[in-house]
A and B are shown apart, each in its own frame.
Chain A
Amino acid sequence: MNTPYFGNLTERMNAFRENLLDAKSYACAERAVLTTESYKKYLDQPVVLKRAYMLKNILDNMTIFIEDETLIAGNQAKENRFAPIFPEYAMDWVINELDEFDKRDGDVFYITEETKDQLREIAPFWENNTVKARGLAAIPPKSRVCYDLGIIKAEGNITSGDAHIAVSYEDVINHGLVSFEQRTREMLESLDITTIENQKKSYFYESILIVIDAVKAFSNRYAQLAHDMAEKETDPKREKELREMAMRCEKVPYHKAETFHEAVQSIWMIQLILQIESNGHSLSYGRMDQFLYPFYLKDIAEKVITEDEATELLVNLWLKTFTINKIRSWTHTQFSAGSPLYQNVTIGGQTKDKKDAVNALSYQILKSVAQTKLPQPNLTVRYHAGLDDQFMKECVEVLRLGFGMPAFNSDEIIIPSFIERGVSEEDAYNYSAIGCVETAVPGKWGYRCTGMSFINFPKTLLIAMNNGVDPKTGTRLAEGVGHFKDMTTYAEVEQAWDKVIREFTRHSVIIENSCDLVLEQDVPDVLCSALTEDCIGRGLTLKEGGAVYDFISGLQVGIANLADSLAAIKKLVFEEERFTSVQLWDALNNNFEGVEGEAIRKLLVNDAPKYGNDDDYVDQLAVDAYRSYIDEVVKYPNTRFGRGPIGGTRYAGTSSISANVGQGRSTMATPDGRKAETPLAEGCSPSHNRDKNGPTAVLKTVSKLPTKDITGGVLLNQKVTPQVLAKEEDRMKLIALVRTFFNRLHGYHIQYNVVSREMLLEAQKHPEKHRDLVVRVAGYSAFFNVLSKTTQDDIINRTEHVL
């Protein structure tokens, strides 16, 4: 067999990878039990201290192990790929679904009877005592209806905490936790606690000291374990590795790192612990090719490490990254199919002084991620006009492997957009991707630059057409402007949309604020806050307004369906009078059943302009409709406004992740000819098979959206067949396509699935033969075979650009 373009994994990393692929995902009760223990014991403590003691108890007592193949220490749960349970966020779904985990249609988790018993035993303590319980209780009734009917969803926030953040790894490796400890001590000592504000700050500072100490002790546990293993090791090479590992674990992350290997160990330990502290996902590494580069360069120059050793170490880090697992409720799973963790690594882009930032480590990261070829980490390349063809070609080589990476974010729109919002120029040039497509300044930005709540746009339109009443349940959700059946002009439809979407936007704000209120009060993340500037300086946790910047966004789902629906209504009902509004409304309610229904559906599909074809008629309708949302949402600050951060406000975002499937399921037939319960369009991509003019037209359409105001991310998924990229000259044309999108059309993000339809169909038929087939779902990649049939089909049906 030919050597792959990026070379083969080393033997031991290949063995490690195989073991991880073999490992079954189990639910793990260990963290849940230890958390419950601490919560009971420290019931009387201020909440930050309780959280600190909880983390300490887990780190002191959880099972630890060091795999035979690894050069980096640190594990999340009892075994690799086991998913811990985080009872403080939500426990009801865990108990309700205990017997269902292994019977799911996708994202199957196994569970032992012992684990079930342990979870059932602790469950009573958490009854009405979780973030979810308090979060739902905090949502006022009118907004709660929107939540319950699935128009606005925020299940991620309410059942699993925040994350969606990159902490300051740069400071961790360059100064060690000891520097954070020192600063905290100084702040604490100088604090006059006669005011209640300061007294509260003192709790936070105390909790940081507890947590840093716990992290140090945790790392020392690995040092001890490595020592013990070295004592028993018969292979002298491995014995030496274990002894060195022990020394590293004694040193970092508490002290600053001095070698590349120490820096990697330090980063991993923190990345890991942050995902034990909180159940939030999209915990991202930030610009790893930048902050690790000085270590890499020094070690290569001083021959401390070879390039191949560095590749192996990075692969090791990615395999460790992949060991992290997360179990979600079944309903939430439909929004985040494939149990993604969205641990993003960003490379490329520009330096703070505006020069091309690509360096030897950027290539190393590309190579190591390509070799690893797993759903984690999620690799993003920051594009800018000065990125050279050599690096772009290397990126395309990774794309050709078909696992959906890297995704591209563009400096050309994101940096100016940040600067306009008040981000300093230096920080704006240092942004990184967070999770999937969203962006923030690592180490300085609060949680959830996107990922707040999801609004179902097409369903909102249907409610607007139905005079503000949910067609399914008859519940009045908003004041309407009359029923579609009585409307005589398109302007009335527009008016109805504008009124209802603004009302729902307000509800989404209320729901988000309810979640944030409870997350702030119930589950502050001590370590995550400590590692984000300026939480220590202000003595505030992230949710209290500790971050330098704090902009958030929700996710708007089904933009293409909304656009196509509006165009079909405008053209076929009001301009051409092909059928009446009554006929259309009836057809929608009957899900296009019957001869007349089907005839209407055909006209809707075939005779109206479609989003994604560079047709101004429909594209402008999308822009106008989206404007109503954007215009409304910016009015409402988040819960940190005026408490310290720059920003404290909201903007729009389109990364629907796999919510298009989940929200599609609860949405009746739509005027774009889409049948009830089928998936909505994802991100800002066109609906399946509705883009007939090829990729340039899609990019043109997407570029008409007010991207500058959708700073939360404009997610565009494209699929091309592997043959398209078989020839060098065609690969260059793909690069030109991407360059045009970013340089001239000011696109925000693009990602490619380079996998053939046949391959996916084959994998559906013979999952056993394709256990490591990784595909792009939305802003992230996942194992194809872990996905439910509906999500698999959704991916298969995405328009494939064949040349």
Chain B
Amino acid sequence: MKACVFNIQKFSLHDGPGIRTVVFFKGCPLRCKWCANPESFKLQPELMWDPVKKAEITVGEYKTLDAILDEVMKDIDFYEESGGGVTLSGGEVLAQAGFATELLKQLKANNIHTACETTGYTSPAVFAEFMTHVDLLFFDVKHYDNTRHAAGTGVSNELILANLATAATLHPNLLVRIPIIPNYNDTLEDASGFAKLLKEHDIHQVELLPFHQFGEKKYEYLGKDYALLDLPQLHSEDLAEHQRIFEYHGIKCRVR
């Protein structure tokens, strides 16, 4: 059993509690226009220009469960001392859900705290099983409105919302995150729309991720078009009003 993984990032501090290692799975069924990791779209390894090495490099590698496990287990001392662990991210980790679930099981067997960053785009059955092995679930919601969702990500949000409902009901440690993208979901009305959605699912906590342009260059290195070229970045202070709207609706809101 192998998975296509494009990075294993150690000493990651902002993807869950404590010192963590993040495993980035390659391949994503969504095509979010703002995506900062376009090298993670394809499910297979691909070539990308490396400006430092001044050469094409291969992004992504098929790795066995044992290889990944060996690598992440190297930092077990740090996880234990700091209350950290391993976070699965992507791409969309659920695109390789079978492998990811196995990996999570192994991690739990080793008493490692697990977190996952997902957009929840998979069948409800797969999601329900997967979710049970995740200690902390970061669930990204891009849009509350299905038409707009499809316009921005290329897919409907029906599955996503169904899985969000499951998570909201059954998962003890769920954190919804919303990337705020200019001209897409950044009005205060949008904030109200999201707040309403969260309230429907009895979710009282949200994290907003202001749009950034860290991925801009990568499109060029991959020879891909980038729709949001030169779109100004947002900063946490730009989202103060959004925060108030969520708080108004009784939802604790943090801007990253």
Contact = CB atoms under 8 A, between A and B. Distances in A.
A595 to B, nearest CB: 15
A10 interface: no
B18 interface: yes
B11 A737 contact: yes
Contacts of A737: 11, 19, 78, 82
B10 A693 contact: yes
Interface string B47-83: 0000001000000000000000000001101101111
A107 interface: no
B82 A697 contact: no
Interface in A665-702: 693-697, 700
Contact of A803 (B12, B74, B78): B12
Contacts of A739: 81-82
Given A694-B9, A803-B12, A700 B82 contact: no
Contacts of B19: 696, 733, 736-737, 740
Interface in A701-739: 730, 733, 736-737, 739
A803 B84 CA distance: 15
B18 A744 contact: no
B11 A614 contact: no
B14 interface: yes
Interface in B145-199: none
B126 interface: no
A743 B9 CA distance: 23
B12 to A, nearest CB: 7
B56 to A, nearest CB: 13
B148 to A, nearest CB: 33
Contacts of A606: 53
A801 interface: yes
B13 interface: yes
A696 B78 contact: yes
Contacts of B75: 696-697, 700
Contacts of B77: 740, 744-745
Nearest to A745: B77
Nearest to B21: A696
A696 B81 contact: no
Contacts, number: 54
A801 B12 CA distance: 11
A697 B78 contact: no
Given A696-B75, A700-B74, A740 B10 contact: no
A729 to B, nearest CB: 8
B145 to A, nearest CB: 34
Q: Quick one: which of A697, A733, A739 has the most chain B CB within 10 A?
A: A733
A730 B13 contact: yes
A694 B22 CA distance: 12
A733 B85 CA distance: 12
A91 B9 CA distance: 55
Q: A693, A700, A803 — which one has the most chain B CB atoms within 10 A of its CB?
A: A693
B18 A694 contact: no
Contacts of A730: 13
A696 B11 contact: yes
Interface string B13-57: 110001100000000000000000000000000000000010000
A115 B9 CA distance: 59
Contact of B18 (A700, A733, A801): A733
A744 B10 CA distance: 18
B10 A733 contact: no
Nearest to A803: B13
Contact of B13 (A693, A733, A743, A744): A733
Contact of B81 (A694, A695, A697, A743): A743
Interface of B: 9-14, 18-19, 53, 74-75, 77-78, 80-84
The 8 closest A-B pairs by CB, nearest first: A736-B82, A694-B11, A740-B81, A744-B77, A694-B10, A696-B11, A740-B78, A696-B75
6 contacts: A695-B11, A696-B19, A696-B75, A700-B75, A740-B19, A745-B77
